[in-house]
Structure formats: structure tokens, C-alpha cells
Chains A and B, each alone.
Chain A
Amino acid sequence: MDGAVSIAKCDVTFTVNDELRTVHVFPMARLLDVLRNELGLSGAKEGCGEGECGSCAVLMDGVLVNSCLVPVLQASDASIATIEGLAKDGQLHPVQQAFLACGGAQCGICTPGMILATVELLERIPAPTPDEICEGLSGNLCRCTGYMQIFKAVADAAQRIAPR
């Protein structure tokens, strides 16, 4: 026996990067595992498995979530955006461009989550103050950069996105 309650796999349907997908999985499977193992989207990374580090962050209906803490059933009918869907037609998103230009990525493992956190932050606050940047990214841990160049990248991305 796997436990007191036997739960069967079920179909779960949601949109990933503007594409409708249906997966046949256990309802309590972590969204992170479903993205990585069922859908081959390995951009979201597992750093801690307990919602501390933000490496697995994706956008669910525009809200930044740690996909290691989201049971896949909760994502039913939601719209998920992952790092793989950010660049369009080979053209990097301004946040990606800014991270490249400012040294915002070192080892790269936190980068997908950090970039999505930045996208979400700039959606909410198009021209964040330094404190709003620090606060806005405080759910995403980076061990390499000491954050300063990430802050620069966020400010730079805001400039790139701002309508001229």
C-alpha cells in the first residue's frame, strides 16, 4: 500500500506558454515535476523543495509561484508562463537582455526564477525604486552575484520596457 488513500492519476489541463496542454498525472504531483518531467520544460529548477529559494518560480495567471509548492491540480485551467516562453521568435525579452548586459546571471541556476520574478515585479511596478527591487526579489535566492548586478539588470530592464 502506498498509503491509506489510493489516489489514481487524472487528467489536468492548463495553458503553458500560450499552448493548451493536458497531462495524465497524480493530482498531488508538484507542478515543478510535471513541467520538468511530463512537459520537458526544464528551465524551472529545484533548489530547496520547500519554497525558500525561488529557483522553481513560474508565473501562474500572472502571479509568481514556487512551482515546488503547487500541486498540479491547483493549476487546472490556469495559464502558466515559464522561462522557455519568454523569448519570442528568437528575440530575447527585455528582462533577459538586461540580465545578459548587466551580469545578472552567473551560474544561471536561479536565473529563470529571478527573471520571471523581475517580469512580474515590472508588471506590477513599471519603475520600481531600489527598495522595491530588493523587496520584490527577496523570494529568490542567488548565491553567486550578491544581487547588486541583478538590481542593475532590473533597473535596466525597466528602462528597456518603458515606452519611449
Chain B
Amino acid sequence: MSDAEQPKIVGASVARKEGRDKVTGRARYVDDMTLPGMLHGGTVRSSIARGKIKSIRFGPHINWNEYVVVTAKDIPGKNCIALILDDQPCLADGAVNHPEEPAVLLAHADRHKLWKAIDAVSIEYDELPAIETIRESEEQREIIWGTNNTFKTFLMEKGDVEAVWAGAAHVVEGEYFTGAQEQLYIENNGMIAAFDARDGLTVWGSLQCPYYVHKAMMKLFALPEEKVRVVQMETGGAFGGKEEYPSMLAGHAGLLAMKSGQPVKMIYDRMEDMAATTKRHPSRTRHRTAVSAEGKILGGEIDFAIDGGAYATLSSVVLSRGTIHAGGAYHWPSVRIRGKAMATNTPPHGAFRGFGAPQSLFAMERHMDHIARVVGLSPAEIRRRNFLQPGQTTTTQQKVSDEVNLGYLLDRALEISDYDAKRERFAAETFSSTKKRGMGMAAFLHGAGFTGSGERYLDSVAGVEGCADGTVRVLVSSTEFGQGTNTVLCQIAAETLHIPYESVVIAQPDTTAVPNSGPTVASRTVMVVGKLVHSAALGLKQTLVAAGLPGEAYTAEQFRAACGTFVAARGALKSYARYQAPPDVYWDDEKYRGEAYATYAWAVYIAEVTVDLPTYSVEINDFVALQEVGKVLNPILGEGQIVGGVAQAIGYALYEKVVWDHGRMRNNQMTNYIMPTSSDLPPIRVYFEEFGNPHGAYGAKGIGELPMDGPAPAIMNAVEDATGMRCNTIPLLPEDLFAAMKANREERLAEVTGTQGP
């Protein structure tokens, strides 16, 4: 079939590859798998935030001979979860640094007996004072990590910030806070492990990054790479929450399997998953901005701090992305951005869709509305005057090479949402009503792929295999957890090879069978791995052409025959492609300067809200999400990514509050940690603009994280438009709005009555 006749597979909403299994209940998640002789594993965790372990007591009334018991001394390799720094123990050994830190592992064939035994283990501590917030960590009353409680700092400088203040018509300051957020994938973390002396360790689990787990198991068990096998099962949602934590759980299941000689399954229940695993980093951002009389940003300082929890895990990388995104989609002639990740005695915070950017962009986009108010311009106009233009440089001094036109995106979003007319109408109508209505916007960007030199270090490889029957298998460690990895990578291979989509399948991620195409994170899969699949498929085609396949115009039947002939003659037909950095990419890891990302996705989101004063509740009535994400390879999946991200971000802004109690999540249940249901959401209207991207497969950019960045500030800007209340902390639950309004009233009363003079 020639190009002209071939219906385009890329760009079409072909059916999800594993969709049929999912709608029929046949898809196999880790808890659906059982192995002969399998035991159930469980975890005894710390009940305090910080202290020395004095003793571990195994209570009477339990026949401990029936149980497999594992403590830190059973670890054959290094007691750590290998990631960036090796500071997080797999099992507490002598000390604990956060509540819910794992200390003892138990296994038994009977789950009920397991739970009784977990309750019968008690740990005695010498308790130490704990650090609970960024501020306490900065004050260093206790040193709980390193020499100064600081996991990582960044300093980014552009231009001459000291010179901007004198010429400024306005200096605008603001402080912004975001809370922790639970990923709340509906499938809890789970893992099955089996161990034998000859083959080593095998784990099957719910996970995003098979080779992260692989690396961590090699170190924990002191095994060579060929003796660790990691297999991803169907994964019921992840959102970053199954990026680093699965290494911990795989280690635990593996240790129990090694000690017992039997397969061990560990499936967290919801309460354990919420209390013990990672969440989005809480943050604090301070802005101080010099602005001209015309509303142009002259320069400024941004201080971005995140709460990393008790161990370093991924905090340095989350901080990096948050720091780079802190200046938003605007041109800063001069800027100084400081970032720091602080230690606290809570379970480590970790990866969650957006990865630092939702935090710093919340601050930036709230701050833009603040600047607009001070200067006396509309929220739209202040943004328009400061938008990054092609050819200008970002805060990392990267020249904007995308053909982006943010002014156009803004105009489109204003038009679709009927922004101006509604804003005017609401101002008039709601003046005397207890239902206050308002409009809010956010304009932002999100960098696709790993930061700076990250993709070069990853050195990813992807492959395609032609089978004897003409089926093509895509070989990657990139995982499917709902986003559409399987489907889109198969679309790319099919398009490149001019064969039907139905002829392409994806191999189950298994470290013994697929190459390391890198972690499934950072909005990199379609753009970076997709490009590798494209290159590998081109390589496969060239091989077949060299072996006699007609070069340009071949039928699916001819392709099948060529695969069959090749495999019969040579045994196997595989083609691999390795990541090659674009030649003109420059990045300075020390100064944090240069090409931070190969490309960016750009967006303008607009929220329309009603605030009901008697109940202090915020309802979103309409939500417009307009973005430029390069070529959309599968419109239904693309829209699904945006709507899903917006819904999570609405939860982030208005519903999802982690209540902390001495470092422990108190509301670790779905009954009291509230995510949006189908009746809580507005119509979420999605629009794509396609400017294209030379770096991604068929012009695609990253898409997965972008929709997490904009909704929260757009909603809080709308709340301010409706009520005049400056809500700079999320989440904003009715009780928070109540408290904010009360504080505001008291402040004004004090002003009027002079009870609190200067």
C-alpha cells in the first residue's frame, strides 16, 4: 500500500490496544495473579515521627513459627532503596525518621492471621523531636538530615536583578502555598515476588518504571543484573505514585520470598497506601517582582521551597522542574530563582503528575493576577504584555524555538469561554447576590521529557520485532497505566511500517525481554520513546527492503511474507534505536542554564466559578482548556489525558486536603480524603492547537502533565474575581474560605476601628 492510499493511523482515534481486556474484566492486575504456595506479606510500621528503636517485641498468643519474619538484618545487599542518593532504608535499622516507616515484614498463607500478627508486634522507641514543616526545617531546631536539613538547592540567575528595583514603578510581593496531594490511583500498590537460588529474584507488580525497580533490587539483594527480573502487570493508575515507591514494595516482597522460599504477594489496602506511600510535595513560593508603569515585568526574585519528607528520594528532581517552571510563560529580562528541598519527618513526598511545576506555576499565575491588580490592568492584558515570544529567552536563557503564539492562544480561550462578556455580566449581576460569580485564567507551559542533560544520561533504547506471521512487536520498558502508551506506540510503528494498526502489538514490559527505554514519566513517552520506536521501525523497514521487500509501495501481505522469509532464514528480525541528543542542545548542570527541554507544551485555561456565600462552597460552572501540544497522535486519548488532568487539578484546588498529625496523614481513607466524583465536575471543554514539533515522533510533544499545572491558579483567580478574596493557599475547602473571609473581615475592622495601629 502506498502512502497515498494508506489511511493515516497516526492522528486517528484508533481503539485502545488493551481496551477489550479492560472492558471485559480480563485484564490482569497484580492482585489478580496467584502462584502455587503463595504467601501474603505485610508490614509493621513505625508509629512515631522520629526516634531510636529500643526494642522490637513479638507478642505472646501468636505462634511465630508459622510466620516468615524479616528485619533489616536479613537484607543481603545494601539496606537502601537505590534511586539518586541511597539514603532511604528498605527497613528501619535502629532509628525511624517518619511515621509509617517499615521496620518488620511478616508473611503467612492466611491473610487474616497475618493481620493479627502485625498487630502483635510492638516497637519501643526513644522518641526524638520531629520537624513537621518547611519552616521548622529551615529554622534547624533539629537537624534531621545531612548538616542543614536541605536535600538540594538551585540558584538560577539571568541578567542583573539588583539593577531592576530602582526603575520599577511597582514592586509586587506575594507568598503562595500548596498542600500535599495523594495520587489516589484506584489500584493500590501491589507486588508479587518469587526467589530461587538459580534464577534469582522475579517481581511482578503495579509499577511505572521496570528498570528503576531492577536497579534497586540489584543493590538490595547484591545480585547481578541477569538475576533480577521485573515484570509490569496491568497497572490501575499511577500518576507518578508508582514511579519510585514500587522499588520499596518489590524489596519487601522479595525479602520475604527469599527468606521463605515461597512466592509472596503484598497488596496494600487503601489506608496503608495513603498513609505510607508518596504524595505531591507541599510548597511555599515567594515572589518579589519589579514592574514598569505599563505593566512590563522588569525582573524579580522567586524563592521556591518544597517539603521533601524524611528522605531524599526524587525531591531534587521535583525541585529542579519546579524551579525551571517558576517563571511561567513570561519573559523575564532579569531574574533570580532560588529553589530548595527541605527535610521533614513525614513519609517522603514523591513524583506526582506535573512534578514540581503545578506548585511553582500556581504561585506564578496567582502572582500575575496580583500584579494586574496593582498595575491596574486586566488579568488578560498583564499576561499579554509579558508573554514569551519566539526568539526571546526563558529563565534558563533557552531561546524559544517553538512557533508559539501565546497571544493567539489567549484570544482563542477568551473567545471560547466568552470571558469578557461574562466577567462584565457577573460583576453587575452578583453585586447584591449571595452567589458570587467570577472568571479566572492561567497561562502556562510545561517542558516535555527529562530536564537538561537528563535524556542523554538515560540513553534510552527502543526496539521493534518482526515476527514470522508478519506481526510486529514493539519492545519498550515504557509502561501503560491508562495514558495510552500501548496504543500510541503501536500507532507510530504501524504508520512508519505502512501496516495495519491491528498487526502491531506491544510486548509486556519484562526486563528480560525488552530494552530500557527509560522511565515512564516526565511527559516523555510519546515524544522521546515514540521517536525511538519510529527510528527502530525505519530500521526494520530498511532491513526488509535490503532483503527484497519492494521499497516504497508494498502491501500488508508482502510485508508479512517478507517477515516470514527473513525470520525463516535468519532466526529473528529485530531493530533497535538509541536516543541521540539533538546536536545544538546546550545545558549547564551547575548554573542551571541552557536548553532545559527540547520543547514545551503551552496552554491557556479559563475557569468560571460560583461562590455560594452562605455555605462558602465553590462550584466550577465551566472549564475551558486550550493547549498547543504539537501533533495530537490520538485525539480521544489526548482529550482523555487533558480532562483527567484537569479533574485531578480541580481536586488539588478545591477538595483534596491531606490532614497532617505529627507527620502522619490522618484522613487516609476515601471517606475523608475527597476526590471529585462524576457529580462534582463542570463540563471540561478541551481544545487543541497544533503548531508541530520537530523533536517528537510525527510532531508530538509531551501532554500528560500539562493539564495538572493550570486549573488550580485559574480557579483561585476566579474565586478572587467573584469575591475579592485573595486565596493564595490550596486546597481551598469551604472551611478555608470561611477562615479567609473571617480573617479579612477582622483585618478591615481593625483598620476602621484603629484597634491595630501601625
Contact = CB atoms under 8 A, between A and B. Distances in A.
A109 B24 contact: no
A140 B678 contact: yes
B538 interface: no
A18 B239 CA distance: 38
B483 A100 contact: no
Contact of B234 (A101, A108, A141): A108
Give the dominant DSSP class at B's interface. Answer: loop
B481 A115 contact: no
Interface in B628-647: 636-637, 639-640, 643-647
B185 A149 contact: no
Interface residues of A, number: 54
A129 to B, nearest CB: 13
Interface in A89-148: 92, 96, 99-103, 105-112, 115, 133-135, 137-148
B622 interface: no
A42 B190 CA distance: 15
B237 A109 contact: yes
A45 B187 contact: yes
A2 B115 CA distance: 12
B646 A146 contact: yes
A135 B678 CA distance: 7
Nearest to B21: A108
A71 interface: no
A43 B636 contact: no
Q: Which of A96, A147, A150 has the most CB of B within 10 A?
A: A147
Nearest to A133: B678
A144 B644 contact: yes
Contact of B239 (A82, A92, A101, A143): A143
Most chain A CB within a 10 A radius of its CB, from B20, B31, B644, B646: B644
Contact of A101 (B15, B24, B32): B15
A84 interface: yes
Contacts of B675: 141, 143
A98 to B, nearest CB: 9
Contact of B678 (A82, A137, A144): A137
Given A101-B15, A109-B236, A92 B25 contact: no
A144 B19 CA distance: 14
A138 B678 contact: yes
Interface stretch (A7-15, A50-58, A72-80): A50-58
Nearest to B34: A37
B652 to A, nearest CB: 12
B670 A52 contact: yes
B678 A107 contact: no
Interface string B13-39: 101101111111111110110000000
Given A53-B670, A109-B29, A148 B684 contact: yes
A138 B677 contact: yes
A27 interface: no
A141 B186 contact: yes
Given A47-B187, A107-B237, A107-B481, A138 B22 contact: no
A86 interface: yes
Given A52-B671, A107-B187, A149-B636, A46 B482 contact: no
B24 A96 contact: yes
B216 to A, nearest CB: 24
A124 B25 CA distance: 23
A107 B481 CA distance: 5
Nearest to B640: A103
Contacts of A36: 32
B677 A146 contact: no
Nearest to B672: A52
B443 interface: no
A115 B24 CA distance: 9
B521 to A, nearest CB: 16
A48 interface: yes
B648 interface: yes
B681 interface: yes
Interface string B671-700: 100011111010110000000000000000
Contact of B637 (A101, A103, A133, A148): A103
Contacts of A99: 19, 23
A64 B578 CA distance: 50
Nearest to B636: A103
B617 interface: no
A143 B184 contact: yes
A59 B538 CA distance: 49
A99 B15 CA distance: 10
B471 interface: no
Name the residue in A41, A42, A86, A109 with the highest tally of chain B Cβ atoms < 10 Å from its Cβ. Answer: A109
A42 B31 CA distance: 9
B270 A143 contact: no
Nearest to B239: A143
B502 interface: no
A119 to B, nearest CB: 12
A139 B677 CA distance: 8
A107 B235 contact: yes
Contact of A143 (B24, B26, B648): B648
Contacts of B269: 46, 49
A108 B13 CA distance: 18
A107 to B, nearest CB: 3
B386 interface: no
A84 B675 CA distance: 28
A92 B24 contact: yes
Contacts of A115: 23
A103 B237 contact: no
A43 B670 contact: no
A106 B644 contact: yes
A45 B236 contact: yes
B669 interface: yes
Contacts of A16: none
A145 B27 contact: no
Instruction: Report which residue of B23, B112, B234, B643 has the largest number of chain A beta carbons within 10 angstroms of its beta carbon.
Output: B23
Contact of A146 (B238, B239, B643): B643
Contacts of B234: 108
A141 B185 CA distance: 10
B24 A151 contact: no
Contacts of B13: 103
Contact of B681 (A49, A92, A110, A146): A146
Contacts of B15: 100-101
A25 to B, nearest CB: 13
- Give the top 6 A-B pairs by smallest Cβ distance, nearest first: A43-B25, A109-B236, A107-B482, A146-B647, A108-B22, A106-B482
Given A134-B678, A143-B184, A148-B684, 8 more contacts: A46-B31, A48-B270, A52-B671, A103-B640, A105-B19, A109-B185, A141-B675, A143-B239
Interface of B: 13, 15-16, 18-29, 31-32, 112, 183-188, 234-239, 269-270, 481-484, 636-637, 639-640, 643-648, 669-671, 675-679, 681, 683-684
9 contacts: A43-B25, A45-B29, A52-B669, A100-B19, A106-B483, A108-B18, A145-B643, A146-B645, A147-B643
